[in-house]
Structure 1
Amino acid sequence: MAAGEQAQAAQAPRKAAKRLRPPGAKSVAWALVQAARLHRGRVGDRLAGLDLFAGQEQVVQALAAAGTMTMGDLAATLRVRPPTASKTITRLAALGLVERRTEAGDGRIVRVSLTAAGLAKAAAIEGIGEEVEAEMLAGLDGKDRRRLRKLLRRAARNLAAAAGLDAQDAEAEDDLDGDHGEPG
């Protein structure tokens, strides 16, 4: 094979690789989904070190922020169906991280709160979140980070409106875009 033919043969796989792009490579939604998947994977790997599964950390974080919640409020906060919240609480209770108490006047109302072990997990989860966020946003200055947050909230509001959902949560957080001690 001549030198020119060898060079051409070596370039063929690179050209083919350039043409083989993900179907939505130029789509913002595609990039968002890929980033979310990779983020979820990083968080999931770290949660495994705490003997938790992805999704359970959201329940622990919600309870750490609120203190005590009813099962209905927890489900609404997490935007899941009540049976999903209940199943997760059952698993976390088996791990000794949450406790359930029925309302004195109405046994149908169940209040959930973190145990001391649950509060310790909440602190560890917060650390994981900070570490993974730092990895994800490496190379972005404070201005870029604030802009990205704001744009993602706007996208969430647009989707919520299109689905007929209340986008109040995303709008309330717009006021949080002030300086958070981030550089730039």
Structure 2
Amino acid sequence: MSATANEAFAVSGKGSEKGGGKGSDKGSDKGAKADQDKTVKRLRPPAAKSVGWALVQAARLHRARVGDRLAALDLFAGQEQVVQALAAAGSMTMGDLAATLRVRPPTASKTISRLAALGFVERRAEAGDGRIVRVRLTETGLAKAAAIERIWDEVEAELLEGFDNKERRRLRKLLRRVARSLAEAAGVTGHEADHEMDGEADDDEADALLGPATDGVATET
């Protein structure tokens, strides 16, 4: 083989090596990306496309959002429900409070003890029967209840941003149907007449009463 031929062969060989190296690197990158995509898909929960999964994620985000604001009131998520229940009822026995919140009496009692230590609630024996203890909010507790109401309104506005009146009512009704279905499956009572408790009208009737929203996101009363 001539010198010229040898040089040409050498150049060709180098080109092949360079070209082969680049092609190999690209192929490896693509293979790695494909493996990564497969891993991500495998890590995705099987129920990610289910209604239940979406509901759980939304509930967690809502709870976290409310919890962040409750911390400023020296309250933990869940305690605000006790404050709200007492604000609505005026005073309650421990048994009534536990039944309202659907928790065990020891759980309700522990929460009340913590709120009492903060000065938010007070316990008094029932007149005529010292065995019965009634719980009520203090003045500080009443102020906390008003603040909690504002927090719920703020998070509610964030939650329903971009929803019009009809969409809000529809969403609320669907969630209540979900709650009733789960309650029936678990044998829990108390969800059957939720729509009657607040006098909610059917969609058509409510539309007639409310009329068209002027801004598309009118606040419900």
Q: TM-score, normalised by structure 1?
A: 0.87
Distance in 1 (alpha carbons) for counterparts of 2:40 and 2:30:
15
Q: Distance in 2 between matches of 1:68 and 1:111?
A: 6
Of 153, 165, 176 in structure 1, the residue corresponding to residue 176 of structure 2 is 153
Letter in 1 for 2:160: L
The alignment status of 1:142 with 2:165, answered yes or no, reads yes
Q: How many pairs were matched up?
A: 184
Q: In the alignment, residue 112 of structure 1 is paired with which amino acid?
A: V
Q: What is the CA deviation profile of residues 112-160 of structure 1, one whole-angstrom value per residue up to 9, with x for unaligned ones?
A: 1111100110111111111112222222222111111000111111111
Structure 1 CA distance, aligned partners of 2:171 and 2:42? 29
Structure 1 pair 142–11 and aligned structure 2 pair: CA distance change class (3 A): farther
How far, CA to CA, are the matches of 1:6 and 1:134 in structure 2?
Answer: 49
Q: Is 1:67 paired with 2:102?
A: no
Structure 2 CA distance for aligned equivalents of residues 72 and 183 of structure 1: 39
Match in the other structure for 2:80: 57
Q: Any residues of structure 2 matched to 1:92-111 within 5 Å, and which?
A: 92-111=115-134
Pairwise CA distance, 1:104: 1.8
Q: Which runs of no fewer than 5 residues in structure 1 stay unpaired?
A: none
Structure 1 position 92, deviation (Å): 0.5
Residues 1:183 and 2:218 are matched in the alignment: yes
Instruction: Return closer, same or farther for 1:103/1:145 CA change in 2, 3 Å cut-off.
Output: same
* RMSD between aligned residues: 2.5
> Residue 36 of structure 1 corresponds to which residue in structure 2?
59
8 Å contact 1:156–1:170 — kept in the other structure? no
Distance change in 2, residues 1:61/1:103 (3 Å): same
The residue that corresponds to 1:22 in the other structure is 45
Percent of aligned pairs with the same residue? 71
- Larger of the two Rg values belongs to structure: 2
Q: Which residue of 1 aligns with 2:196?
A: 172
Q: How far apart in 2 are the matches of 1:157 and 1:69?
A: 26
CA contact (8 A) 1:157 1:170 kept: no
Range 20-29 or range 80-89, more displaced? 20-29
Q: Does the C-alpha gap of structure 1 residues 173 and 27 become closer, same or farther in structure 2, counting only changes over 3 Å?
A: farther
1:78-125 CA distance string (max 9 Å, x none): 011111111111111110101111112111211111111001101111
Residue 152 of structure 2 corresponds to which residue in structure 1?
129
Unaligned runs of 5+ in 2: 1-21
The Cα shift of 1:62 comes to 0.6
| Greater relative CO, 1 or 2 (CA 8 Å, sep 6+) | 1
- Work out whether residues 69 and 111 of structure 1, in 8 Å CA contact, stay in contact via their aligned partners in 2: yes
- What amino acid is aligned across from residue 170 of structure 1 in structure 2? D
